[in-house]
Structure 1
């Protein structure tokens, strides 16, 4: 595990050292616009569940370290955490589970001139990333001295969850909408009997009054406890409706409603089929 993390950090440092200094000023204004409804996009968000006593707390962002003079190519980094907190009395939020992600990305953008399609821009992003997940103190019963719901986990608790992957996204966009298609391949994973492939697609629409609609769809492998491997796929949806607070000068802040249905986004629960709604605030840096 430490060797893999060290190797990925070495790739980042070697790439950074090859960037011309005059063009390497970091910027959060990334060439590839972050996906609006993808729950695994690095972001800052506070999203309480509406149908259970949980709260999602996301802290992270992507940053371009280099963009060429033409604004058609960029290299950047991604850092993110996705936390699942329990909501309890006295304003306490024990952390049940948390995922950590870091990596590098390469992106490009090209204007479409005289295109027969109803789009005026093509963009793409390739990510090389590491992600790991962990149960925390909120999943541990201190009085009993044992992990909670250990019987529900097919691997026992604690168990190691670690993935290194390449993610490729292609997008077509116009002024008020964008569609995208993606593919992800795991070149290393623990547990190891997991299908290495997953697919992604989505659409984003700007609607009147600084509102928007977005849908993110993933085809993710499903764990079969009897076979002790993934043996099928399930569609996983995240539907989002939101309002950007542009009218009050906070154009980077949006109030968003999400409906999630499918395989859990949290590594410690990757074998779980979940359905829930959230309502909260997302900040786009």
Structure 2
């Protein structure tokens, strides 16, 4: 089993290393060296985001934690855990789960101060992730009266089907105070189903605005499913635009009230072939 899944070996080695202090901070901390990307919908976080144009609710539960930080404060590695759920909103305060994605992995981060004339940024940072993500349809996607899965005819594979990916993700960023620009690249080194494009690209910007408010945009080029070819072919631009307010004045500096507009390929693995557009308004907690 270990030979077939080297990710388990890498994870175990990093956890053992994290437990061995060597002149640096080895105590786990939720204040990660690389700050979470504000508008990336697949960043580990705690979030409750109702859709404004449909009876759905996004519920995210997860976090990143640095297990080790170097003595000079410019290198760290840690772990990521996250679940991303799509719930249906129904009567009597019920929320059947339509689909859920599970993510876990390890990350390495690095930062360096900059002093370059004419450059409006004073810090360069980078984060490398090695992660696994799987996705599953749940009871909310099943019609018990009809004894069938919902929208089964739209899925290119029989329902239920196995969705599992292991990937490497690299993000590099330039930042100053609460302003940041970044670029990213992701490579799938293993995927089920296997007729999925291996490459994805990312770019984003975060801009601080008056009164603890901010604007952020996350853009991805993701593999687009082609029904005729029965595989992904080319890319589809995917945007998540966010306007938010940090509740610092209320003593909750890690809490954001945020509005999102999402358009592009679904963030949920079970809907990897689906194109979506929707708006959400809710609360995000950055631990």
TM-score interval (norm. to shorter):
over 0.9
Aligned residue for 1:9? Answer: 8
User: Cα distance, 1:12 vs. partner?
Assistant: 1.1
Q: Report the Cα distance in structure 2 between the residues aligned to 1:264 and 1:279, rounded to whole angstroms.
A: 18
Question: What's the TM-score, normalizing by structure 1?
Answer: 0.97
Q: Does the Cα contact within 8 Å between 2:2 and 2:8 map onto a contact in 1?
A: no
Deviations 1:60-100, CA, capped at 9 Å, x for gaps: 00000000011100010000000000000000000000000
Question: What's the TM-score, normalizing by structure 2?
Answer: 0.96
Report SS of the residue matched to 2:140.
helix
Q: Report the Cα distance in structure 2 between the residues aligned to 1:5 and 1:98, rounded to whole angstroms.
A: 25
Q: Does the Cα contact within 8 Å between 2:163 and 2:192 map onto a contact in 1?
A: yes
Which residues of structure 1 form unaligned runs of 5+? none
Q: Report the Cα distance in structure 2 between the residues aligned to 1:176 and 1:37, rounded to whole angstroms.
A: 14
Q: Given the superposition, is the C-alpha separation of residues 51 and 219 from structure 1 closer, same or farther in structure 2, using an over 3 Å criterion?
A: same
Q: Does the Cα contact within 8 Å between 1:123 and 1:171 map onto a contact in 2?
A: yes
Which residues of structure 2 form unaligned runs of 5+? none
Deviations 1:97-120, CA, capped at 9 Å, x for gaps: 000000000000100023431110
Q: Report the Cα distance in structure 1 between the residues aligned to 2:100 and 2:27, rounded to whole angstroms.
A: 31
Q: Given the superposition, is the C-alpha separation of residues 5 and 24 from structure 1 closer, same or farther in structure 2, using an over 3 Å criterion?
A: farther
Q: Does the Cα contact within 8 Å between 2:222 and 2:236 map onto a contact in 1?
A: yes
User: Cα distance, 1:272 vs. partner?
Assistant: 0.4
Q: Does the Cα contact within 8 Å between 1:59 and 1:80 map onto a contact in 2?
A: yes
Matches within 5 A, 1:1-285: 7-19=6-18, 20-21=20-21, 23-285=25-287
Report SS of the residue matched to 1:132.
strand
Q: Does the Cα contact within 8 Å between 2:109 and 2:126 map onto a contact in 1?
A: yes
Report SS of the residue matched to 2:229.
coil
Q: Does the Cα contact within 8 Å between 1:5 and 1:130 map onto a contact in 2?
A: no
Q: Report the Cα distance in structure 1 between the residues aligned to 2:46 and 2:227, rounded to whole angstroms.
A: 34
Structure 1 stretch displaced more, 94-103 or 105-114: 105-114
User: Cα distance, 1:18 vs. partner?
Assistant: 2.6
User: Cα distance, 1:148 vs. partner?
Assistant: 1.2
Deviations 1:37-69, CA, capped at 9 Å, x for gaps: 000000000000000000000000000000001
Q: Report the Cα distance in structure 2 between the residues aligned to 1:246 and 1:56, rounded to whole angstroms.
A: 24
Q: Does the Cα contact within 8 Å between 1:170 and 1:182 map onto a contact in 2?
A: yes
User: Cα distance, 1:5 vs. partner?
Assistant: 8.8
Q: How many residues align?
A: 284
Q: Report the Cα distance in structure 2 between the residues aligned to 1:33 and 1:260, rounded to whole angstroms.
A: 22
Q: Given the superposition, is the C-alpha separation of residues 276 and 90 from structure 1 closer, same or farther in structure 2, using an over 3 Å criterion?
A: same
User: Cα distance, 1:6 vs. partner?
Assistant: 5.4
